Amino acid sequence: MAWKNDQVSKNETEFIAKIARECLDVQGDFVELGCYKGDTSLALAELLKNSNSDKKLWLYDSFEGLPEKAVEDNSPLGEDFKEGELLVTKRDVKERFLRSGLRVPIIKKGWFADFSDSDLPEKAAFCFLDGDFYRSIRDGLKLVENKMNKGAVLIVHDYNNPALPGVKKAVDEWVGTRGLQVLETCAIIRCK
């Protein structure tokens, strides 16, 4: 699949796919919190298909654009990131999968804070979290923390993005003693 992502760099997309490939042998499904147009989702679905994996891909998004910012999100560089921006419908994402010939994932609509444990797969082998703002990242981390299986990897996008400082704050508060690796703007957390 040709790279077309306008929110995640080509290098980051390749890295995400590489790490996800390493998680194919870990028990659990793939989870993406914050899928926007589904660019990264399509790459993950293609990986699962090409690997003949029986893992499911689960997508979660508000499909209402960005939420309201918290104080932690304020940055002069992030003025363009406004409530309602980056709006794409659930139907748009589903149609992209149908056009691509890839299996349509399990798609759940809502804010991360509104989902419960029962809305996620029993276990996750890989999770990509792209929520842009402090509360979204904080809520997403709380949502998946008990679902990540031993050997699973969690990648949080925009960790080092100066336009979105709330992401780094939420990850730093959550990460505690867990190991943290950073590539470009992605935080990588490996579950032991």
Check pLDDT > 90 for residue 82: no
Burial 58-74 (b: 16+ CB within 10 A, else e): bbbbbbeebbebeebbe
Partner residues linked to 154 by β-bridges: 127, 189
How many other C-beta atoms can be found within 10 angstroms of the C-beta atom of residue 117? 10
Nearest to 1 by CA among 33, 35, 47, 37: 47
| Average pLDDT of the residues in 127-142 | 96
In the predicted structure, residue 5 carries a pLDDT above the cut 80: no
Check pLDDT > 70 for residue 127. Answer: yes
Per domain, the residue ranges of the chain are 10-190
Span 142-156, average pLDDT: 94
What pLDDT shows up at residue 91? 96
DSSP type of residue 150: E
CATH architecture of 10-190: 3-Layer(aba) Sandwich (3.40)
How does the average pLDDT of the chain come out, rounded?
91
